[in-house]
Structure 1
Amino acid sequence: MGFQQGLSGLNAAAKNLDVIGNNVSNASTVGFKQSQAQFADVYANSLTGAGGSGIGIGVKVAQVAQQFTQGNITATNNPLDLAINGGGFFRMDNGGEIAYQRNGQFQLDKNGYIVNPTGAKLTGYTANAAGLLSTGAPAPLAIDTADLTPQATTEVNAVLNLDSTETALTAPFDMNDPATYHSATAVSVYDSLGNQHTLQTYYVKTGAGSWDVYAANDGVAIVGSGPNGQVTQLQFDSSGVLTAGGQFSVTAPVTTGASPITAAFDYTGTTQFGSAFSVNALNQDGYTSGRLAGFNIGADGTILGRYTNGQSAVLGQVVLANFANPNGLQQLGNNMWSETATSGTPLVGTPDSGGLGVLQSSAVEDSNVDLTAELVNMITAQRVYQANAQTIKSQDAVLQTLVNLR
């Protein structure tokens, strides 16, 4: 029994205690991955390399390996908090240097970028004004708070039922005289500046299965191409099915300085049955401008903005990165790692693809440290330290006996 074995055992046990202490101190650190001290025995080799049943000369710390197991997920009230359920790391732009982390506690900085508590920017695929993602190289993600550009109405879809029991009218149509039409509808439409207008349509039965359709915008009649100024004539067969006149266009002048509204109408599905007039569907594709009211992040990392005009738009998409050997990553502190030659190159992709995990918004991944297990490990490491100290004490007693020989 020599001093070397006991001393190496003391050093190994001390380092093991350091690892355990670091795990315990980070038990509440979001996204922290616990470490494990791994040991290897040490033997002295002869010059010829021949081995026998030689006695080892102690122990060494072979590696301090992090355990990249999944931590528990805890819900939060911050929509920018993100938890990765599965493999992968957030890809961060840390002042021009790319780093990686599992901690999903994010916030917006003064410029609208999504950043972590140290100011590193979350990266992903950015979106243009039309909501199309640029899926080339990831770039820092920012939330665009500009107003959503209005969209002029170009299509109106209507599904109606016109009452076949109505009596045909012969009096000239006058939108101010309800006696000259059977029924009417109104839909809000928008010009190129996002101003809202009311587009009205009037229905006049002129014969069996034949209905003239007239239109007006904001109470101003629109003169159609029909002989009496109608915009179209709907034709139905004896079964009440629409056979002609269901697709037409209307151009409505506006007085707001915007371009005239040109809308294509589609009455597909409209019927003429022996029941009261009804509007089963009436919608259009325009909208006014809107301010960003909020946003959420989907499981695939898509950032979807919600606007005050009821519309939504894609603002970007978070990407994740994974490595062939995560234990080869270099720890940088602040819950971040950097790639090394040992870790391999990062495999970047969208969440829930290529083995990457899914994202959960308004949630964070807790540390994967098991406090109960760490406290037991601490007791074991302490006993190992004491045992190695005892070997040194015993060796000292043996040496003292030798010194005292006469």
Structure 2
Amino acid sequence: MQALYIASTGMAAQERNVEVLSNNIANMRTTGFKRQRAEFQDLLYQTYRRAGAATSDTGTQVPVGIEIGSGVQVAATSRLMSQGSVAPTEQSLDLAISGEGFFMIELPDGETAYTRDGTFQRDANGQLVTTEGYAVQPGIIIPQDATSVSISRDGLVEAYINDATTPVQLGQIQLARFANKAGLESMGENLFRETPASGEAQIGAADADGMGHLMQGYLESANVNAVTEMADLIAAQRAYEMNARVISGADQMLQAAAQVR
């Protein structure tokens, strides 16, 4: 009975949906995390009678055909890149982006990754790095004797050296944006990788040419809404249960057919 296989695809799709939702909920406190959404599409149809088929020699046609679908599948897990809320941290090297853009990070193999997580620190050489020790691009070196580091809206990094009365410019943090930021590939560690779907990175200064501005001493929270995720989770569970009931009902029909004498 085809209903068994159709309902099994529904259960498999909702299982994948629950996995996506559980990952969203697990990352509610992950800085810069962007939630995902499972998107579904129906599978191929078996046509028993085509719409418009002739029913007589005089040209009459069937207004509606007979098509039976074969189930559902997960077509994509879209990443929703909406802005998360920002919260103060009282750490001078923490940065949040308000608006478009990603921080550029150099990985150990020389590849450039992108992130919305602005949890930055200084390493032993004074270089601005992520929590994993990856260098922020372009490289910013903060001297050991630097005090009162300030980062402006447009990413200009300044600091007072020793007892100097005027600040010294240490560099400028730049941002990257993409034509299709939802097409970025997730790498883990709050990092994304450029793909053909995302398009090439467009690099520029913050607070200019459509780029967002930087907020020193703030971090961007995950854009996960707990109430929405729980509501979606309940809906997915109920859809899974209904597909399981279809399998149970089809099994009972097959059992009744097998008992006919």
* Fold shared by both chains (TM-score > 0.5): yes
Aligned mate of 2:174, from 306, 312, 319: 319
The runs of 5 or more residues in structure 2 that have no matched partner are 53-64
1:304 equivalent to 2:148? Answer no
Per the TM alignment, residue 141 of structure 1 is displaced from its structure 2 partner at its CA by 2.1
Partner of 2:142: 143
Partner of 2:23: 22
The alignment partner of 1:315 has SS state of: strand
Letter in 1 for 2:44: Y
Per the TM alignment, residue 81 of structure 1 is displaced from its structure 2 partner at its CA by 0.3
1:334-389 deviation digits (Å, cap 9, x = unpaired):
00010011110000101012211000000000011000111111111110010000
Q: 1:3-402 alignment to 2 at 5 Å?
A: 3-44=4-45, 52-95=65-108, 96-124=110-138, 140-145=139-144, 292-307=146-161, 308-402=163-257
Considering only aligned residues, what root-mean-square deviation do their CA atoms show, in Å? 1.6
**Structure 2: distance between partners of 1:389 and 1:402:** 20
Per the TM alignment, residue 305 of structure 1 is displaced from its structure 2 partner at its CA by 1.2
TM-score between both structures, scaled by the size of structure 2: 0.90
Per the TM alignment, residue 53 of structure 1 is displaced from its structure 2 partner at its CA by 3.4
Letter in 1 for 2:193: S
**Structure 1: distance between partners of 2:45 and 2:51:** 11
1:144/1:315 contact within 8 Å kept: no
2:34/2:222 contact within 8 Å kept: yes
The alignment partner of 2:210 has SS state of: coil
Larger-gyration structure (1/2): 1
The alignment partner of 1:55 has SS state of: strand
The alignment partner of 1:28 has SS state of: coil
Per the TM alignment, residue 313 of structure 1 is displaced from its structure 2 partner at its CA by 1.5
Distance 1:143 1:50, change over 3 A: farther
The alignment partner of 2:199 has SS state of: coil
**Structure 1: distance between partners of 2:8 and 2:170:** 59
Distance 1:60 1:144, change over 3 A: same
Letter in 1 for 2:106: D
Per the TM alignment, residue 99 of structure 1 is displaced from its structure 2 partner at its CA by 0.3
**Greater per-residue strand proportion:** 1
The alignment partner of 1:310 has SS state of: coil
TM-score between both structures, scaled by the size of structure 1: 0.58
Aligned-residue identity in percent: 36
Number of matched pairs: 244
1:322/1:348 contact within 8 Å kept: yes
The alignment partner of 1:2 has SS state of: helix
Letter in 2 for 1:293: T
**Greater per-residue helix proportion:** 2
The alignment partner of 1:17 has SS state of: helix
Distance 1:392 1:321, change over 3 A: same
**Structure 2: distance between partners of 1:53 and 1:89:** 50
The alignment partner of 2:243 has SS state of: helix
Per the TM alignment, residue 40 of structure 1 is displaced from its structure 2 partner at its CA by 0.7
**Structure 2: distance between partners of 1:371 and 1:343:** 28
The alignment partner of 1:78 has SS state of: coil
1:71/1:367 contact within 8 Å kept: yes
**Structure 1: distance between partners of 2:168 and 2:51:** 72
